[in-house]
Amino acid sequence: MPVDPQFHDVIDLYKNLPSLGELPLEVLRRPPAPSATVATAVDSVTDQTISGPGGDLKLRIYRCGAGDSLPLLLFIHGGGFVLGDLDTHDEMARILAANTGCVTVAVDYRLAPEHPFPAAVDDCFAALNWAATNAQELGADASRIAVVGDSAGGNLAAVMALKAREEGGPALCGQVLIYPAVDLTAPMLPAPDGKFYILSPETRKFFNGAYLREPTHASLPYVSPALADDLRGLPPALIITAEYDPLCAQGEALAARLKQMGIETELKRYDGAIHGFATFPVPMRDQALRQIADWLKSRYA
């Protein structure tokens, strides 16, 4: 099917933007104008700072649900390891918290190029361990922890699953990878119509160059989790891909490998969708986030 019409305005917007390398970082990271839409309601939102591997590490904690033993979710935003923060993905985190009835901890990890790999990995793992250790104070259940991330955040969520297994981190009951960048060595493939939407080989070069101190680091498992030799023992996975996303093939390849290694894995491709669709205020976003929430609730049960 062709690109869904609900994405035409977004595609037109991106067509008129300068290339990433032409803009200084402070411009790239400038927050968008305030949205006229009302933020999804949750019971409470609290910003908190903890001690992280590189100094102060900011978290945003969303609570939605009654009780003192709610499920716990670590949310990791996307942005190519260079862009994004707690505010750019605030609505996505709110919707997930509201739809799952859990305590959601969003992490404001350090960004490249100022802080290249492994800074983001270290920060996210510190946030995961903090959430598990402080689950009781959060009114959450440390035995019901899942990770969710989109794009680069999907990469980091998958890395959290690997790192927790390898280094004795919290046991995870699920990982949700939304159009994840899980193989930084893989070529960027055009959409079925031969075009690139949102992402391109040029954007991949920009993001990889910012994130990695050495190009050879792209093949490390904590950089490209799809390349890990052994995926056994990882938590169940839900992988969301988009038909018109250059990352579609690598997300689906990871799903196939997980299944081959005996990991309970669900793959859902959204036909007609482009990269980033779960952050755009369109009907397909709402559909995907409902699916994610339903899957998480089944894992938390």
The CATH number of the domain where 241 resides is what? 3.40.50.1820
Confirm whether 32 is domain-assigned.
Answer: no
Confirm whether 27 is domain-assigned.
Answer: no
Tokens of 63: 């609570």
pLDDT > 70? residue 37: no
Q: Is-catalytic flag, 35?
A: no
- Exactly one of 89, 141, 150, 151 is catalytic; which is it? 151
User: How many domains is the chain built from?
Assistant: 1
Looking at residue 31, what is its pLDDT? 65
E-only strand ranges, the chain: 44-52, 55-63, 70-76, 103-108, 140-150, 174-178, 237-244, 265-274
Mean pLDDT for 120-134 is: 98
In the chain, what percentage of residues exceed pLDDT 70?
A: 97
pLDDT in tens, 77-98: 999 999 999 999 999 999 999 9
Q: Residue 5 class from Cβ within 10 Å (0-12 exposed, 13-18 middle, 19+ buried)?
A: exposed
Cα–Cα–Cα angle for 151, 156, 158, rounded to 5 degrees: 95
pLDDT in tens, 257-270: 999 999 999 999 99
pLDDT in tens, 181-213: 999 999 998 999 999 999 999 999 999 999 999
Looking at residue 19, what is its pLDDT? 84
Q: Tell me the pLDDT band of 18, cut-offs 50, 70 and 90.
A: confident
- Quote the CA–CA distance of 136 and 127 in Å, as a whole number: 15
Structural domain harbouring 84: 5-18+41-300
Confirm whether 26 is domain-assigned.
Answer: no
Confirm whether 289 is domain-assigned.
Answer: yes
CA distances from 225 to 208, 253, 266, 268, 301 (A): 15, 12, 17, 19, 27
pLDDT > 70? residue 34: no
Confirm whether 135 is domain-assigned.
Answer: yes
- Exactly one of 245, 271, 286, 298 is catalytic; which is it? 245
Q: Is-catalytic flag, 275?
A: yes
Confirm whether 33 is domain-assigned.
Answer: no
- Exactly one of 275, 286, 294, 298 is catalytic; which is it? 275
Mean pLDDT for 232-256 is: 98
Mean pLDDT of the chain: 95
- Quote the CA–CA distance of 291 and 297 in Å, as a whole number: 10
pLDDT > 90? residue 21: no
Confirm whether 279 is domain-assigned.
Answer: yes
Tokens of 28: 């790239």
| pTM of structure | 0.96
Looking at residue 155, what is its pLDDT? 98
Looking at residue 150, what is its pLDDT? 98
Q: Is-catalytic flag, 151?
A: yes
Confirm whether 53 is domain-assigned.
Answer: yes
